[in-house]
Structure formats: C-alpha cells, structure tokens
Amino acid sequence: MKLELTDNQPLADRIRPTTLSQFVGQVHLRERIEAFERSKRLPSLLLFGPPGCGKSTLALLLAQSTGRHYMRLSAPEAGIAALRKQLAGMDILILDELHRFSKAQQDFFLPILESGEITLLATTTENPSFSVTKQLLSRLHVLRLRPLTKLDLVNIAKRATEELGFELKDESLNLISSMSGGDGRTLLNLLEYTSQLPEEKREPEKLRAILPETIIRGDRDGDSHYELASAMIKSIRGSDPDAALYYLGCLLESGEDPKFITRRLIISAGEDVGLADPSALTLAVSCQQAVEFIGMPEGFIPLSETVVYLALAPKSNTTYAAYHTVKQEIRQNGMLPVPLHLRNATSAIQKEWGYGRNYKYPHSFPKAWVEQSYLPPELSERSFYQSKDQGEEPRLNAWVKGQKRSAHPRMEPPSSRNSKK
C-alpha cells in the first residue's frame, strides 16, 4: 500500500520518482534499465555505487514496474532466520547494503536464486569483487552506478525547492550542488537546511559562509578510498605537487586514516624516488612518526610537506624493478645454493666441506673493496640492478664503478684512459 506523504517525511522520500522516466542520472545505464523494464522477467541485480547516487530508488522503481509483490530490507536488520519467514509470498527482495552480510549469510540466497523462487535486487557501496562471494556474484547482473553529475544535482535541487516551497537563485543552486560531491542525499540535506534560513541569507556569498561544513564521503572500504590514494601516488610519481596535494586533501577531508596515507607515502618514497634521493624515505618515515605524535588536524602539516617533497624529488625505480627481476628469476628457476666461500663455517666438519674457504674480507683490502664473486656461479653474468642517471643515484654508483674500473682498466672507455695521461 502506498503511504501518504507528509511534511515529516524526509525530503528524499517526498520527491522520490514514481516512474523510471522521472529517475535522474546514470545516463550510461539507461538502455539496460529500459531493457530490464520491458523484460517479461526481471533478473536478479546488484546495484553498486557510491552513497546518494540512486541505487535504492532504482531498485524500487524496477520492482514496482513488474507489478509483483516485493519487500525492502536493509542487511544489518535482516537476520537469516527471520528473513526466511518474511520472504513468504514475496516475488522480489530489495536488499540494501548486501556487503554487510557475511559470506555464510550470502550463501542463503544461492538456492532460492537458482530455483527462481525470488528475484534479488541488492545494493552495495563496496566493490563486489571483494565484498560478495563469487558464487552469489555469478548469479547477479552487476550495474555500476556513478556519482551524480552537477547537472543531475541541479535538476534534483530544482524539484526539491518546489517541494519545500522556496526559491533559490541559480548561483546558490550551483553552489549547493557543487558542495554535495555527487551525493543526492547530501544535496537534499543541505537544501532542507537552506530552506530554514531567512531569504537574505540564501545569497551565494552568505550561504558559503553559513552552510554547515559538508561531510565529504569517505568510502574507506570502497573504490573511492583506493582511487584517491592511487591518484595521489601517481601524481607524486608524475612530479605534479599540485595534483598530489589536491588528492591528499581529498583523503584527509573525507576522514581518511592518516596511517593509511603515511604508509602509501613511505612506499612511494622507496618505489618511485628510490636512490635518486635516498633521503626521501627518511622523510616519509619521519612524517609517519610526526603525524602519529601530533595527531590531527595538525598532521596535515608534515603530510603536505612530505607529499610536495616526494613530488619534486628526482625519480628512480631501479631498486623496485631490480627486486621484481630477482623475484622472477627465483620463481622461474628456484633458489640456487649459496657459494661455499660465502657460507659461515660454524663447525669443524663445515670447514672440511669448504665453508668460508677463500673468502676475501673486504675490510682487509684498500678502500674496503676486493674483486670477488658473490652470486651463484650460474648467475655470474646476470645483472639485476640497472642504475639510472637520476638525482643522487650516479653519485652512489660512482664509487663501486670506480673500484671495478681499477680492477679492470680495460673496462674504462678510451677517452677516460687518455685523459689520465
């Protein structure tokens, strides 16, 4: 039975579309949605997307379009035992927050979906690849919804202001739409707040100053969490301090755990900056300690310093690439025995076996270097580390290269030998 709308109802319910033609947003899914609406039998769906993008509304509209019996539940409030009874006589179940069900609870749906006993329209804000079992996922059509565009939000805002019975200038509508971050629910909350303000305070400049601070969505377990972190690291790798700072701000303002951010920065310092500026890793570790010591909100100070430093630093991934080359060698050919002269002889029998024999202790030689083989003989010609002419890396390589040239003068380029004469 359709409920009568009252002024006490949330604005989202009061302006919720009653037909699919009134549904706003998700243009990229329109053809598929219309195909489902025309279909004789609605398939089971998983609607995946950020908060406030219309997942539940779309599920309700699709269920209503079938004319069949349906019910709506939220996973946190739906125990499996009670759910069995509630589903009696129902054709369609709209289940919000499917990711809140455990893997075992999700298995409950496998037989009833397989038999066609019920159609499941589930929603989730978390990546289904990680939050939904493979068995259940294989029985669902996944629709990925996107954040609402600014135009979508403006259209919703105009309808909402009509429902609330007040007028708002286009500039103010644009401002509130921009502050909503693609989230229709946030938009409607801000509009309800604005409707209570005196008319003179609804001007854009005054609204900007008096609107409550917007709570930006921090989807820590969903895609935006990883997308923002990835964008920050890629901006650092690309030496763009402005973009790196921007994504740092997005992470912090959405309530991201600073420990997660500092961990990513330490990894970037080692992977992307590397030997081009070895002090970058020291700074990143110091940043982690500083943020832990001073806490938030002041933690943004060492974080922003570190992000800009890493972005501006010369880049070299040679040590990162070298390890992956070593890993590939080991996985393809296995681990080779350590040469006998590198093994410690801790017993008399090991000495008899040749452990440590002919090992040359570098500190006993001039400049603490002596020519000696360290790799297993089968790998003596392999070179895993390939240096780059970036930042401090040439200086760090110069000493070892110099020792090798002294041991093998013929290795020197002709120009170098002539210049010494």
Query: Quick one: what percent of the chain has pLDDT higher than 70?
Result: 91
Indicate if 203 and 272 belong to the same structural domain: no
- Do 116 and 31 belong to one domain? yes
Q: Please check whether residues 36 and 107 belong to one and the same domain.
A: yes
Taking 90 as the threshold, does the pLDDT of residue 294 lie above it?
A: yes
pLDDT tens digits, 60-75: 999 999 999 999 988 7
- Segments forming the whole domain that contains residue 192: 150-210
Question: Could you identify the residue written with the tokens 């089968």?
Answer: 378
Q: Using one digit for the tens of pLDDT, what is the confidence trace for 90-148?
A: 899 999 999 888 888 888 889 989 888 899 999 998 888 888 999 999 999 999 999 99
- Judge residue 297's burial from the number of C-beta atoms within 10 Å of its C-beta, 0-12 exposed, 13-18 middle, 19 or more buried: exposed
Residue 74 belongs to domain with CATH number: 3.40.50.300
Question: Is 44 part of a structural domain of the chain?
Answer: yes
- Output the average pLDDT for the chain: 86
Q: What is the pLDDT of residue 213?
A: 56
In-domain check, residue 4: no
Return the sign of the alpha-carbon dihedral for residues 109, 115, 116, 117: negative
pLDDT bucket at 259, cuts 50 / 70 / 90: very high
pLDDT value of residue 419: 42
Please tell me the distance from the alpha carbon of residue 52 to that of residue 177, in angstroms, as a whole number: 13
For the cut 70, the answer to whether the pLDDT of residue 411 exceeds it is: no
Question: Listing from the earlier edge strand, what are the strands of the sheet with 92-96?
Answer: 70-74, 92-96, 119-124, 45-48, 141-144
Instruction: Tell me the pairing of strands 141-144 and 119-124.
Output: unpaired
Dist. CA 33–CA 26, nearest whole Å: 10
| 46 and 135 assigned to the same domain | yes
Stronger pLDDT, 391 or 269, i.e. the higher one: 269
The answer to whether the CB of 119 falls within 8 A of the CB of 42 is yes
Residue 386 lies in a domain: no
Give the pLDDT of residue 224: 65
pLDDT of residue 4: 42
CB under 8 Å to 156, separation ≥6 — which residues? 15, 24, 148, 184, 187, 188
Residue 363 C-alpha from the chain's centroid: 48
Give the domain-ending residue among 144, 163, 194: 144
Same domain, 81 and 168: no
Q: Of 210, 242, 261, which residue sits at a domain end?
A: 210
pLDDT > 80? residue 420:
no
Q: How far apart are CA 383 and CA 211, in angstroms?
A: 61
Q: What is the pLDDT of residues 311-335, one digit of tens each?
A: 999 999 999 999 999 999 999 889 8
Examine the pLDDT at 16 and tell me if it is beyond 70.
Answer: yes
The Cα 253–Cα 33 span in angstroms is 34
Question: Would you state the pLDDT for residue 218?
Answer: 46
Q: Is 352 inside any structural domain?
A: no
| Residue whose structure tokens are 């890793």 | 281
CB atoms within 10 A of CB 307: 27
Query: CA 273, CA 265: separation in Å to the nearest integer?
Result: 11
Q: What is the predicted pLDDT for the residue at 74?
A: 85
In this structure, is the dihedral angle defined by the CA atoms of residues 30, 35, 41 and 46, taken in order, positive or negative?
A: negative
What does the chain come to in residues?
421
Q: Are residues 121 and 159 in the same domain?
A: no
Same domain, 238 and 184: no
Q: Write down the pLDDT at residue 3.
A: 38
Between 70-84, 159-173, 332-346, the lowest mean confidence (pLDDT) is in 70-84
160 in the same domain as 70: no
The residue that leads in pLDDT, 221 or 257, is 257
Last residue of some domain: 257, 281, 312? Answer: 312
Q: Which of 119, 84, 70, 124 is nearest to 101 (CA)?
A: 124
Average confidence (pLDDT) over 164-176:
87
Helix (H, G, I), strand (E, B) or coil at 268: helix
**Total domains, the chain:** 3
The H or E element containing residue 93 is strand 92-96
Answer whether residue 6 shows pLDDT above 70.
Answer: no
CA distance 157 to 192: 10
354 occurs within a structural domain: no
Q: How far apart are CA 157 and CA 164, in angstroms?
A: 10
Same domain membership, residue 138 and residue 172: no
133 lies in the same domain as 44: yes
Residues 169 and 242 reside in one and the same domain: no
Residues 183-238 pLDDT 10s: 898 899 889 888 888 888 888 888 877 776 554 444 444 556 678 899 999 999 99
On whether residue 331 sits in a domain, the answer given is no
The share of the chain scoring above pLDDT 90, in percent, equals 40
Distance, CA of 37 to CA of 32 (rounded, Å): 9
pLDDT at 81 over 90: no
